[in-house]
């Protein structure tokens, strides 16, 4: 995975961020399988906890206006999280591999969908949000300085 700075993350689209989450999830699951096989259970525990955190973030980012697919993804994320908790308790590499297979298919499908749908132009809502943020920053500067454009 490429090295990401905070600035690069802010430049990513929501679709690209989701792709990154899937990539990091896969890396954590693969690492946890290796750790379980090597009997490094503390490391496996850490990787599985990170994987569950990513699943939680993926679920929190669902757009329920998208329809039934969002509900189905939420159910799938919850199912995988429960399986990972069970795998962590039992230190079961095979159960982790089964979740990994699901995530691999999801990531492939997501990446294919992102490729086939080019990045949309900045929406009106996003433009309004940016204008709002600029006005807020200007007002904050005026409040801090007491004058428009000058610092105290």
CA–CA gap between residue 127 and residue 112 (Å, rounded): 27
The model's pLDDT over 19-43, given as tens digits with 9 standing for 90+, comes to 999 999 999 999 999 999 999 999 9
- Whole-number Å distance between alpha carbons of 122 and 26: 30
pLDDT computed for residue 94 by the predictor: 98
Q: What angle do CA 125, 130, 131 make, to 5 degrees?
A: 95
pLDDT computed for residue 151 by the predictor: 42
| pLDDT given at position 7 | 76
- What is the structure's pLDDT at 78? 97
| The predicted structure's pLDDT at residue 152 | 40
pLDDT at 41: 97
In whole angstroms, what is the distance from residue 146 CA to residue 128 CA? Answer: 26
List the chain residues with pLDDT less than 50: 1, 122, 149-152
């Amino acid at each position: 995975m490429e090295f990401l700075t905070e600035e690069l993350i802010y430049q990513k689209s929501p679709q690209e961020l989701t792709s990154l989450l899937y990539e990091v999830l896969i890396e954590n699951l693969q690492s946890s399988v290796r750790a379980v096989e090597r009997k490094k259970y503390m490391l496996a525990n850490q990787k599985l906890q990170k994987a569950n955190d990513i699943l939680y973030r993926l679920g929190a980012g669902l757009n329920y206006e998208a329809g039934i697919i969002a509900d189905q993804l939420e159910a799938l994320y919850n199912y995988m999280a429960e399986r990972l908790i069970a795998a962590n308790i039992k230190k079961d590499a095979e159960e982790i591999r089964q979740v990994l297979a699901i995530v691999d298919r999801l990531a492939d499908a997501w990446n294919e969908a992102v490729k086939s749908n080019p990045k949309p132009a900045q929406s009106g809502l996003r433009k309004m949000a940016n204008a709002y943020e600029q006005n807020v920053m200007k007002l904050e500067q005026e409040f801090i300085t007491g004058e428009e454009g000058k610092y105290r």
